[in-house]
Each structure stands twice: as C-alpha cells, then as structure tokens.
Amino acid sequence: MLIDFNNLNINNLSFETDFELKIKNFLNEWFSEGDTVNVQTSGSTGAPKVFAIEKKKMVNSAVMTCNFLGLKEGDKALLCLPVEYISGKMMVVRSAERKLKLMVSDPSLHPVKDLKEEIDFCAMTPLQVESSLDKLHLIKNLIIGGASVSESLKEKMEGTELLSRTSNRIFETYGMSETLSHIALKQLMPEQEDYFTAFENVSVTTDERGCLKIYAPNVNAEELQTNDLVEIKNGKQFKFLGRIDNVINSGGAKIFPETLEALVKKEIPNEAVFLGLEDEKLGQKLILVLEGEESGDLRKKILRIPFEKNFHKPKEIVFIEKIPRTPNGKINRIELRKIIAGGL
C-alpha cells in the first residue's frame, strides 16, 4: 500500500494485513490529541520494556534525519520495519513531518523483492540488506540500523550495481530507543567512513570508563549514559569499539568481542559471535560461535587470521544452526550464551 502524507485521509486507506493494521493504529495514536506515544524496546540487552515518548521530540528527531539526507515533500520512502519499535515508528513520523509518499512492505528478510521503481529513502536491518543486494541501486538514501554492519556485508554491497551510482548513499546508524532512533550516521557508500558523525545540536563525550555520553536536548532533556566504549575525534565524531557489557575478561586481559567479530567477518561469510564463558583458570574462556554447518575449512581459516594478540584467538569454535536474535534482528547474546553454556 501507499500512504501519501501530502494528502492523508486515514479513513480512505485500505489496511488489510496485520502489519498494515498496526500502522493504522499508530497513525490514529500519532494524530490523536495525546502528547505522547508508547514505544517498546527491543530487549537485546535486557528485558523488553514500554515507555512513553513525547511526540514533539519525535518530530525533532525526524527533522534532523530528513535535513541531513535532504528529503523533501513528495519524495518516496519505504517502510519495512516493525512499528512496535522506535525504528518503524520513526519512519512513519519522518514521512508525516516531511509529507513523503510512504510505501509499505511487511517486515521480512526480502522487503524490496517486488520493488521496481526508484525510491528516495529506506531504513533496513543488516539481514534485510543482505537479502536485498539486487535492489539496492533503486534506493537513493539507505540507512542501516538495529545491528552493526559486518565487513562481509560491506564487501557484498561494494559488488553491486551501486558502484556505478555515486549519487546513491548508504549509512550505518547509531542510536537507541532513548535517543528516538539515531543521533549519528556513518557513511558506508560511496565512500566508507570509520567514524560516526553526530547530528547538529548533539554533543558527545566519554565517562571515566571510556563509554559514550550523549547530550541531545532536542530529543532527550537528560544527558544519556551508554555502555558503549568509543574513541572520540574532533568532539563531534566517534568510533564504536564495543559494549562494556560484552567485554570479556580472560586471564586478566580485556577483550572487545565486536572488534574481533569485525576481523573474523572480513575472512568468512558466516555470522560470528565471540562469547566469554565461565572458566576456573581464566575467569572467562573465549569462545567463537559460528552460524552454519560444521566446517573444517572454516576452522582452518579462523586459525590463519592474524589476530593482534595471541589471547584473541578463540579457545574453542562452536557451530550452531541458527544464532538467536531479537524481533528486530539484533543478536541476542544473552540467549546465545545460555545455549552454548548448556551444550558444552
């Protein structure tokens, strides 16, 4: 279905699928007299929770993104993310604020399989992008969020038709429910950047642990303390190193699993997750979990990877058919740790 926010009449639209009905419910909530809407967190780092967000601040967030990408009235956008979460809700709000024409596709791994015309804007998870490589050239501005973009996915995107289209742009996002979607973007194509750049009126610092602190008064009056370890450059840009929650302490050495995962994914196509499991001698033993069938060739490739430190090499490599994920596509490390600990 297509929702034209320049000429919107909810009663004249035909909402048929379960997803479309959820959009209708959100539209009614958004255009109601209430000042807030309810948003559910993903539950990737803890129990899911629901909290109320001011509509005014969601509009402020939408303006920042639309201005950064240069979106204008009448542009076409595509919604293919669940509207229970901030990511999907904000796609609707951006469309309403900028009076876009919003195409709706039920959230799936192949959300743009039927796309035949060029669109101006879309947001996807990395898994959705991986299944949509043959259609990326039809999207002028693509933002990828919900999980980090792997090195293997970056290489796959570079091998598509996009290489000949310098006007098409792809960005990785940084944000959370509390910042009403993203507050910073990092360009992946046509040029690949190493640092996220914070939006206007957003400032970033670190605490004594080296974890990111965000002050974005347009979307949240409080300074937000994250558990994301970062490296800050020029006071406006930052490089994500990993979550302090995920840091593995093995034999007294601190290991950032996300950094190791990025290195491994440059060499193999499989999803890879490093975990620290309890160990009497080391405190935590470094385990590498690979998604897919057992493979001796993959094991050999892992052993040949030039890890910076010897203790970065996994003590064990475990294969699993499917790595558990949250409903919006993030790796569920808590559940994965339970599965692996129970099987060893």
Q: What is the CATH number of the domain that holds 323?
A: 3.30.300.30
307 and 313 Cβ atoms separated by less than 8 Å: yes
The per-residue pLDDT for 113 is 92
- Answer yes or no: is 229 within a domain: no
124 and 10 in a single domain? The answer is yes
Report the domain count for the chain.
2
SS3 272: strand
- Answer yes or no: is 103 within a domain: yes
Separation of alpha carbons 19 and 16, rounded Å: 8
The per-residue pLDDT for 166 is 64
The per-residue pLDDT for 221 is 87
190 and 253 in a single domain? The answer is no
294 and 172 in a single domain? The answer is no
- Answer yes or no: is 210 within a domain: no
Q: Indicate the residue among 164, 182, 200 that finishes a domain.
A: 200
- Phi and psi torsions of 266, nearest 5°: -75, -20
- Answer yes or no: is 222 within a domain: no
Q: Indicate the residue among 145, 170, 200 that finishes a domain.
A: 200
76 and 191 in a single domain? The answer is yes
Structural domain boundaries, residue 82:
2-200
240 and 145 Cβ atoms separated by less than 8 Å: no
188 and 267 in a single domain? The answer is no
18 and 163 in a single domain? The answer is yes
51 and 39 Cβ atoms separated by less than 8 Å: yes
Q: Indicate the residue among 168, 200, 232 that finishes a domain.
A: 200
The per-residue pLDDT for 128 is 94
The CA-based diameter of the chain, rounded to the nearest angstrom, is 67
- Answer yes or no: is 230 within a domain: no
122 and 193 in a single domain? The answer is yes
165 and 56 in a single domain? The answer is yes
The per-residue pLDDT for 272 is 92
- Looking up residue 53, the CATH number of its domain turns out to be 3.40.50.12780
The per-residue pLDDT for 245 is 85
300 and 170 in a single domain? The answer is no
36 and 122 in a single domain? The answer is yes
Separation of alpha carbons 278 and 218, rounded Å: 43
162 and 63 in a single domain? The answer is yes
pTM over 0.85: no
181 and 310 in a single domain? The answer is no
- Answer yes or no: is 235 within a domain: no
- Closest to 286 (Cα-Cα) out of 266, 260, 325: 260
The per-residue pLDDT for 48 is 63
Separation of alpha carbons 205 and 218, rounded Å: 17
- Answer yes or no: is 226 within a domain: no
- Answer yes or no: is 287 within a domain: yes
The per-residue pLDDT for 224 is 92
Q: From start to end of the chain, where are the E strands?
A: 2-4, 36-40, 50-54, 76-79, 101-104, 121-124, 141-144, 169-176, 181-189, 196-198, 203-206, 211-215, 224-233, 237-243, 248-250, 253-255, 272-279, 283-291, 316-320
pLDDT in tens, the chain (344 residues): 999 999 999 988 889 899 999 999 999 999 999 999 988 766 555 556 788 899 999 999 999 999 999 999 999 999 999 998 889 999 999 999 999 999 999 999 999 999 999 999 999 999 899 999 999 999 999 999 987 887 778 888 987 776 566 679 999 999 887 788 899 999 999 988 999 999 988 999 999 999 999 999 999 888 999 999 999 998 899 999 888 888 998 888 889 899 899 889 888 888 999 999 988 888 999 999 999 999 999 999 998 999 989 899 999 999 999 999 877 667 899 899 999 988 76
